[in-house]
Amino acid sequence: MATAQGEVILEVNDLRTYFYTRTSVVKAVDGISFNLRQGETLGIVGESGCGKTITALSLLRLVPKPAGRIVGGEILLHGEDLLQKSEDEMRRVRGQKISMILQDPQTSLNPVFNIGNQLMESLALTHKEGRKNLFQRAVESLRDVNVAAPERRLEDFPHQMSGGMKQRVVGAIAMSLEPDIIIADEPTTALDVTIQLQYLRLLKDIQARTGLAIIFITHDFGVVARMCDRVAVMYAGHIVEHGSVRDLFNDPQHPYTQALMDSVPKLEEKVDRLYSIEGQPPLLWDLPEGCLFAPRCPHARDKCQEYPPTFDIKEGHTADCWRLDPSW
């Protein structure tokens, strides 16, 4: 795994996305910061409901309206703040600069239009040319994601395709406008294990070819090890630990990361029962004071009643935990 040293293309600072319901405020994303370099893959890991997907949708400014709102922070793409852009300008960012692959291929394609239509619709946004040329481009897009007989496939409707094939098509659509960044939101969770591997390889190949940056959202550390250069571990809307894959696997510092690692089955060890983390993630509309993991943390002390600052462990490896404080 080569550590990418491309220039920083995306910088997220103190991003906050809240959901307003009649009775409460749900802090789905509560002050996260990270950056992304050209050609690298950043993993975002965490349990369901920890804010991974909302982070992704925030980057595209597609947070479900009207309940969800980005209430603070900056999203700097090539130095320009996306939060300051008009809806029209944002539309040209979507697909062309930042694109996304959704989790479930079964539902991500429109059932009433054929593949060609959906692919060419996307292509037509930047290529103002005749149907014939668009068709040729669509054929090439499908070829890029290893779809056999692309000319014929373009005529097919989504229900005529397998899940793995559909996810390739979704990938082709996401990549059709040559974005700088692809957000892959658990793109393989809904696929068969054998197909998963193929798909991950495909993404890696495309990345090597085009130099795009990937934000890979997953809850699977095996996938992280295979795909990512760096990882951000999310818990209840915060990034609690952030570092290179090597640092996180060899030297996890946050108790939550450690617990997640321990709950991954290992081939070389024989255990009677897989480790699981006690308790439940906190309710996002009723967050505890202080460290959000404290109620489930075996190391928690009084100090944890206060939210910890972000401690630098070494260059590029940080964690939000009081145990890293010299006075602990």
Partner 1 sequence: MQRYILRRSAQGLLAIIVISMVVFALARVTGDPTQVLLPDEASEEQILQTQIEWGLDKPLHIQYFVYIKRLTRGDLGNSFKWAGVPASELIAERLPATVQLSAFALLISAAIAFPVGVLVAVKKDTGIDYAGKMVAILGQSAPSFALGLILMWVFAVQLDWFPTSGRGGLSHMVLPGVALGYYNVAALMRLTRSSMLEVLDTEYVKLARIKGVSERRVIWKHCFRNALIVPLTYFGLIGAVLITGSVVTETVFAWPGLGALVIEAILARDFTVVQAVVLLFAFTFILINILVDILYAYIDPRIRYS
Q: Which residues bind partner 1 (CB under 8 A)?
A: 60, 62, 66, 87, 91-96, 99-100, 102-104, 107-112, 114, 121-122, 125, 157, 159, 170, 173-174, 177
CB of 184 to partner 1, least distance (A): 12
Q: Supply φ then ψ for residue 188, to 5 degrees.
A: -115, 0
What's the chain's length in residues?
328
CB of 62 to partner 1, least distance (A): 6
CB of 250 to partner 1, least distance (A): 36
CB of 154 to partner 1, least distance (A): 14
Residue with tokens 């993993």: 43
CB of 26 to partner 1, least distance (A): 18
> In terms of CB distance, is 33 or 96 closer to partner 1?
96
CB of 163 to partner 1, least distance (A): 13
DSSP character string of 149-191: SHHHHTT--GGGS-HHHHHHHHHHHHHTT--SEEEEESTTTTS
> In terms of CB distance, is 103 or 253 closer to partner 1?
103
Q: How far is CA 159 from CA 154, 173, 193, 195, 201, in A?
A: 13, 17, 21, 18, 25
Sign of the C-alpha dihedral computed for residues 109, 76, 205 and 47 taken in this order: negative
> In terms of CB distance, is 112 or 271 closer to partner 1?
112
CB of 111 to partner 1, least distance (A): 6
Specify the DSSP element, H or E, that contains 133.
helix 131-144
Q: Supply φ then ψ for residue 104, to 5 degrees.
A: -110, 105
> In terms of CB distance, is 89 or 312 closer to partner 1?
89
> In terms of CB distance, is 59 or 304 closer to partner 1?
59
Pairing of strands 238-244, 317-319: antiparallel
Q: Supply φ then ψ for residue 271, to 5 degrees.
A: -125, 150
Which residues are CB-contacts of 288 (< 8 A; sequence separation ≥ 6)?
282, 294, 295
Q: Supply φ then ψ for residue 98, to 5 degrees.
A: -125, 130
> In terms of CB distance, is 3 or 24 closer to partner 1?
24
> In terms of CB distance, is 123 or 284 closer to partner 1?
123
Both tokens assigned to 215? 């934000």
